[in-house]
Amino acid sequence: NNNGTIPTLSTVNKQPVINSLGATLTLTADKSGSLIIFDRAAGTVVTLPTTPAVGTYFDFMVAVTVTSNADKVITGSATELLVGSVLNCDTDTSDAVAIWKSLVATANISTNFDGSTKGGIKGDYLRFTCLNSTTWQVRGVTNGTGTVATPFATS
C-alpha cells in the first residue's frame, strides 16, 4: 500500500531496454521481456534466440525511421516460422488500413521494415512470442507510405 502517494521511479517496474543498436544483434533467451529499440537510420538485423522456452518474448519499437537497408527481425533457424498479423496504416493516402498475415502454412521467418512501404517508421511496434520449438507469434502495428506491402518474408 502506498497510502495514496505516487510511487517514486525507484519503485516503478519497467521493461529492460536494449538500444544503441549496431548493424546486427543476436538475442539470447535470458533477455526475454526486453524492449528492443530500433534507433539506427541505416537499419539493424536482429536474430531471435534459437529454440527458446515457450513464452519467451521480445518487443520491438522504431525510434528512428529507417532510411537505408532495413530493420529486420529473423528467427534463429529456418525451421522456426512466424504466425500472426500486423496492422498497417497507409499514412500518405486515405489512412487506409491493411492487415498483413503470416499463416501456419507459410514459410515466413522474418519481418522487414524498409522505412516506407513495409513499415519502419518512428512509432511502429512488434511483439514476438515463442509458442513452441518451431513457432513464433508476431503481432504489431505499423505505418506505411507509398504502395504498402507485407513486412513478412521467407528470408
Model-wide pTM > 0.85: yes
Q: CB under 8 Å to 144, separation ≥6 — which residues?
A: 88, 89, 90, 91, 98, 116, 117, 118, 119, 121
Q: Which of 142, 62, 153 is nearest to 98 (CA)?
A: 142
pLDDT in tens, the chain (155 residues): 556 666 565 667 789 999 988 999 999 999 999 999 999 999 999 999 998 899 999 999 999 999 999 999 999 999 999 999 999 999 987 889 999 999 988 899 999 999 999 999 999 999 999 999 999 999 999 999 999 999 999 99
Q: What's residue 11's pLDDT?
A: 62
